[in-house]
Amino acid sequence: VAMPSAVRVAMPSAVRVAVRALCLAALLGALGAGGTELTLELPDSAQRCFHQELESGIKFTLDYQVISGGHYDVDCYVEDPNGKTIYQETKKQYDSFPHHTEVKGVYTFCFSNEFSTFSHKIVYFDFQVGDEPPILPDMNNRVTALTQLESACVTIHEMLNAVIDSQTHYRLREAQDRSRAEELNGRVSYWSVGETLILFVVSIGQVMLLKSFFTEKRPSSGMAGT
């Protein structure tokens, strides 16, 4: 956040230290938000499940996206500790599922590629547990307005979160586009090789056909004796 030059000159050293400390806290809060990110390979006719023990009354969010393979779709479902299915989608390219736990125990979420018999999938998912802690102490219980310095730090924190989300989004887009480009390049290569073979066979056939037109046919010996 750029500050006017007059403010920078008149700012005491203690205030500058406080500004740096609060901005650093905002940065660490944005970069250290709890969660698990993973990119996994899902073979054809396969299923992979993950388990997480959670307390009751905790919020979690599951975001996933298929990066490559087939029609870029996958089945996904989430079960609570009692075996109840709380989320189920089939052949989805991407989705987001937020939920507040009602019971304590192990929650299971699975990705399935069982409907595909030959396509391998690469799936990215982000599993976030709990709410992000406030970057300022007693921020949720304050009765006074935030100071200009605190407001600036909160703005920086929100912008950093937006930057992280944008980087993740564009990283996934880049991986997906690269996979599609490589798949298209492979198809073009195979088609080019096929066309080359066809042209080669057609060329040989044409040469042999033209050669047969100009080949002199000699009369048989029987006809010559007569």
Distance CA 99, CA 88 (A): 13
Place of tokens 């096929």: 194
Residue partners of 191: CB distance under 8 A and separation at least 6: none
Q: Which residues pair with 88 in a beta bridge?
A: 77
- State residue 172's pLDDT score: 78
Structure confidence at residue 204 (pLDDT):
92
137 phi and psi, to 5 degrees?
-65, 140
The DSSP 8-state label assigned to residue 83 in this structure reads S
Q: How does strand 36-42 pair with strand 121-129?
A: antiparallel
N-terminal to C-terminal alpha carbon distance within the chain:
112
- Residue tagged 């699975």 (tokens): 110
**For residue 27, with 0-12 CB atoms within 10 Å meaning exposed, 13-18 middle and 19 or more buried, which class applies?**
middle
Provide the pLDDT for residue 135. Answer: 67
pTM score, two decimals? 0.60
Phi first, then psi: what are they for 214, rounded to 5°? -105, 10
pLDDT at residue 20 in the model? 47
Alpha-carbon distance of 96 to 226, in angstroms, equals: 95
H/E segment holding residue 126? strand 121-129
Whole-number pLDDT of residue 168: 78
Measured CA to CA, the distance from residue 200 to residue 194 in angstroms comes to 10
- pLDDT at position 60, please? 92
pLDDT at position 105, please?
Answer: 93
Distance CA 163, CA 67 (A): 21
Whether 55 and 104 have beta carbons less than 8 Å apart is answered as yes
The pLDDT score that the predictor gives to residue 193 is 92
Residues of the chain scoring pLDDT < 50? 1-33, 226
pLDDT score, position 28: 42
Cβ–Cβ < 8 Å for 28, 81: no
